[in-house]
Chains A and B, each alone.
Chain A
Amino acid sequence: MPLGPSFEATLGAAKEGAEWAWAALYRDLAGPVTGYLASRGAREPEDLASETFLQVARNVQGFDGNEAAFRSWVFVIAHRRLIDSRRAQGRRPAMVPLTTHEREHSGGNVEDEALDTLVTDELQAALEELSETQRDVLALRIIGHLTLEETADVVGKRVGAVKAAQRRGLLALREHLDLERVTQ
């Protein structure tokens, strides 16, 4: 949920070092940032999200822009952190499964939960078939709520390339997903 009209004042206060402003910014972006990191295989997505924000705080004096620019800047840093941590881990990115607690948000009863598990497993299997760029782009667009242009900024590619990546990614997902197999 973007901060909207209050963003400018909040950013100004954040630059001054107001704790309430950082709490507001973090509350707003922690969900998508952590979700993006988790979906892209970060081992400790919460820690990585905190590190991302502390990096944002270190450099915030040099930032100037609107809320959209701020969001994509935060994701640029999260994306870099993710790549660094992947290098450190030295392993192939995999989707980290949602925890039971998180599934409660989208489901409720046991049956739904079981279905969710199946769907998630299926989704993970299908995502494995995508290229890394396709996964990055889809995660940034769907989980990070970034626009086409903002996503292009984060992954360092042209808008046209991002557009192609998201189309191919969705097609590949479509190809490898089988909802009927799950529900039967």
Chain B
Amino acid sequence: MRLTSDYKGMFSTTISDREIERLLTGSPTENGELSDLAVFVEMMRAYDTRVPSDQAVDRLAIQAARLARAGRSSAAATSGSSDRPPLRRRVLRPQIAAAAVAILMITGATGVAAAADAAAPGDSLYGLDRALERIGIGAGSAEERLEEANQLLAEGKTRQALEHATEALDEDDDEAARAALDIAIEGVETAGDQNATVVQEKVGALLTYMSQNIGKGVGADGREFGQGVAELAHGITPPDATDDLAPIDTPPPGNDNKPDDNGEPGKGNEGASNQGTESGNSNAPGNGTNPGTGSNQGGGNANPPGKNGNGPAPDSPSVTAPGRGNRP
């Protein structure tokens, strides 16, 4: 039975805005004449029962989070980090963020943040640096990790540099590179202090390759990068194993020894090399990272690792010179 026109006319004149609102928002209607319409409205509302699966939610969340981070890094216009897929380690709970913001407010913010941003591993402000990065203050990029690794390398801390470089890698996408770096670390450990310069240079080449290529191809397959790292990492092996390997591309300027001269294990010079390296280090880290000079850091802290004049230069003669002298 269809509704009569009389009924319709009555309905249209008597239905109030309030009743319409109750119908639309799902409140029980007070007008009995509207109850059948309310049934259809509820049927329509049943479309809202489409609940996504947990998998669908997870998939969406991962993608959306990536896009949001990408949008943020381009919005923040941080130094050259632009189109690289951001790292997962940014994910952090809001209460930690709130705590860090509170610290910032108490300590007077920008100077400390800038000083912390320049801090390298081992410095007192480094923990804060990482905490700030996690909430998006300061460039917490893979590049920064690699720059810090370079700084460690310049200070002669080769193994630590490699270990630090692993932190630049994406947890999920750079598995191959991570495995390769583990091999490199092993190689450095096995090499000990013999041929430290050569090892150092190879690690330097590896770090340079990483900073130039990290993030590229990760979206598609992530393998290209991992293979590149692996090739360079495999080159870092104990001296006895590198005897017959091709010499490294460019001998450091001012170092008069030929690369292949280093093939022979040094005899009894480990101690000397070691000390040379260590003494070179001891006064290196302070500059540019000292909290006291923090306020200057924001503006002029351009202390790019690699051009860092404080640590021993990679071609520091003290490391390998004795080895050569002792060759039979």
Q: Which of A9, A31, A180 contacts B51 (CB under 8 A)? A: A31
Known A31-B48, A145-B48; judge A177-B69 contact (CB<8 A): no
A35 touches B50 (CB 8 A): yes
Q: Which of A17, A45, A105, A126 contacts B65 (CB under 8 A)? A: A17
Known A12-B94, A32-B48; judge A26-B40 contact (CB<8 A): no
A106-137 to B contact mask, C-beta < 8 Å, 1/0: 10000000001001101100100000000000
B67 touches A57 (CB 8 A): yes
A142 touches B68 (CB 8 A): no
Known A34-B50, A102-B49, A143-B47; judge A15-B65 contact (CB<8 A): no
CA distance A59 to B47 in the complex (A): 27
Instruction: List A contacts of B20 (CB < 8 A).
Output: 166-167, 170
Residues of B in contact, count (CB < 8 Å): 55
Interface check A181, CB cutoff 8 A: yes
Instruction: List A contacts of B245 (CB < 8 A).
Output: none
Q: Which of B36, B45, B66, B71 contacts A60 (CB under 8 A)? A: B71
Residues of A in contact, count (CB < 8 Å): 67
Q: Which of B53-61, B103-111, B306-314 contacts A (4 or more CB under 8 A)?
A: B53-61
Interface check B44, CB cutoff 8 A: yes
Q: Which of A46-54, A64-72, A77-85 contacts B (4 or more CB under 8 A)?
A: A46-54
Interface check B18, CB cutoff 8 A: no
Closest-by-CB residue of A relative to B90 is A17
Interface check B248, CB cutoff 8 A: no
A17 touches B91 (CB 8 A): yes
Instruction: List B contacts of A15 (CB < 8 A).
Output: 68, 72
CA distance A56 to B57 in the complex (A): 15
**Residues of chain B having any CB pair with chain A under 8 Å:** 1-3, 8, 11-12, 15, 17, 20, 23-26, 36-37, 39-52, 56-58, 60-72, 75, 86, 90-94, 97, 135-136
